[in-house]
């Protein structure tokens, strides 16, 4: 098995292909990692969440890390780590268009399974999801293949 | 779909069942998350890695977070987040037995695919892997099932 570095283009191609990743954030010297469902648009990772620990932490420290992978088997896999900056897309005056763009992007993915996340329903009575994107400023990846492939 | 909290016993049962997780660590206000292959023993998550960013960061800040999940489909999944403390198991006098226990545990899992990790070979000429465990001190989880299951 050969393990080799991926180019940034290869990394973004994997991020575009996948829709589940792990998002890590940090606060007061502690780390927190949870799965997210996302959509890549350009160099932005769009996602949403109900208000909770990760949103509260990312509001305090927007420097986050996202990891995604595609594993065929033990000898054929790709894994990407993206460092980026958290930006919230609130549904308020001046941000409404951005909010609806995020909503529209995310709505195109239907297999929501994020723990703690639910089908986003703007203006739902039981609390509105928080829409956000991670602006990726650094991406690295590794992939493995059999010798000679 | 119902989403419900898992008990600590249910969380450890999932961690025992799975062997790939995501490990997040933090240093200087930044987060880093990578996949690991691991074996659970008691409340300890055993793993290994070649020397690199995550080992260097965990040596400086041993407070880490591990996330594992089992996803059958969008409506049937479990996800666990474990907070714990990093402990290295060096192959030095006084730690040799612990090191070999870790090695033995990890050797029982053969499907290594961790990016950057290779089949551990103690005393290999090209650098020795670092063996470590995360002592879990807090675990939470959520699981989803169809209504009525």
Instruction: Spell out the per-residue pLDDT of chain A, length 149, in tens.
Output: 688 999 999 999 999 999 899 999 999 999 999 999 899 999 999 998 888 999 999 999 999 999 999 988 777 889 999 999 999 988 777 777 777 777 777 766 645 544 444 444 544 445 678 889 999 999 999 998 776 55
Residue A127: phi and psi, rounded to 5, are 100, 135
Distance to chain B for A94, nearest Cα, Å: 30
CB atoms within 10 A of CB A108: 9
pLDDT of residue B124: 47
pLDDT of residue B109: 63
The verdict on a CB contact (< 8 Å) between B113 and A75 is yes
Token duo for residue A38: 């996302």
Q: Compute the distance between CA of residue A18 and CA of residue A39 in angstroms, rounded to an integer.
A: 8
Query: A2-145 adopts what CATH topology?
Result: Pnp Oxidase; Chain A (2.30.110)
Contacts with A4 from chain B: Cβ below 8 Å: none
Rounded to an integer, the average pLDDT of B83-92 is 90
Question: Do B82 and B134 meet the contact criterion of CB atoms below 8 Å apart?
Answer: yes
pLDDT, tens digit, 9 for 90 and up, residues A125-142: 456 788 899 999 999 999
pLDDT of residue B148: 52
Q: Which residues contact B5 (CB under 8 A, 6 or more apart)?
A: B140, B141, B142
Kindly report which listed range (B3-17, B69-83, B85-99) carries the lowest average pLDDT score.
B85-99
Contacts with A115 from chain B: Cβ below 8 Å: 3, 69, 77, 79, 142, 144
Among the partner residues B29, B67, B74, nearest to A34 by beta-carbon distance = B67
pLDDT of residue B26: 98
Token duo for residue A116: 């703690």
Token duo for residue B78: 């479990």
Q: Is the pLDDT of residue B64 over 80?
A: yes
Contacts with A32 from chain B: Cβ below 8 Å: 24, 65, 81
Tell me, yes or no, if the pTM score tops 0.90. no
Q: Is the pLDDT of residue B120 over 60?
A: no
Q: Is the pLDDT of residue B125 over 50?
A: no
Token duo for residue A140: 């690295």
- Whether A109 has its CB under 8 Å from any CB of chain B: the answer is no
| CB-based burial, A2-26: b 16+ in 10 Å, e otherwise | ebeebeeebbbbbbeebbbbbbbbb
**Nearest-5° angle of CA A31, CA B9, CA B69?**
50
pLDDT interval class at B61 (50, 70, 90): very high
Distance to chain A for B1, nearest Cα, Å: 10
Rounded to an integer, the average pLDDT of B3-27 is 95
Which of B24, B72, B79 is best to mutate for the A interface (most A CBs within 10 A)? Answer: B24
């Amino acid at each position: 098995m050969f393990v080799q570095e991926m180019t940034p283009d290869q990394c973004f191609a994997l991020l575009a292909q996948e829709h589940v990743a792990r998002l890590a954030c940090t606060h007061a010297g502690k780390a927190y990692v949870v799965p997210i469902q996302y959509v890549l648009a350009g160099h932005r990772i769009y996602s949403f969440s109900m208000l909770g620990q990760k949103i509260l932490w990312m509001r305090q420290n927007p420097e986050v890390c996202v990891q995604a992978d595609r594993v065929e088997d033990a000898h054929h896999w790709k894994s990407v780590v993206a460092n980026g900056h958290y930006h919230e897309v609130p549904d308020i005056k001046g941000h409404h268009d951005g909010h609806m763009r995020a909503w529209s992007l995310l709505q195109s993915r239907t297999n929501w399974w994020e723990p703690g996340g639910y089908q986003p329903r703007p203006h739902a009575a039981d609390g509105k999801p928080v829409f956000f994107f991670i602006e990726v400023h650094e991406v690295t990846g590794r992939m493995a293949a059999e010798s000679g492939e």
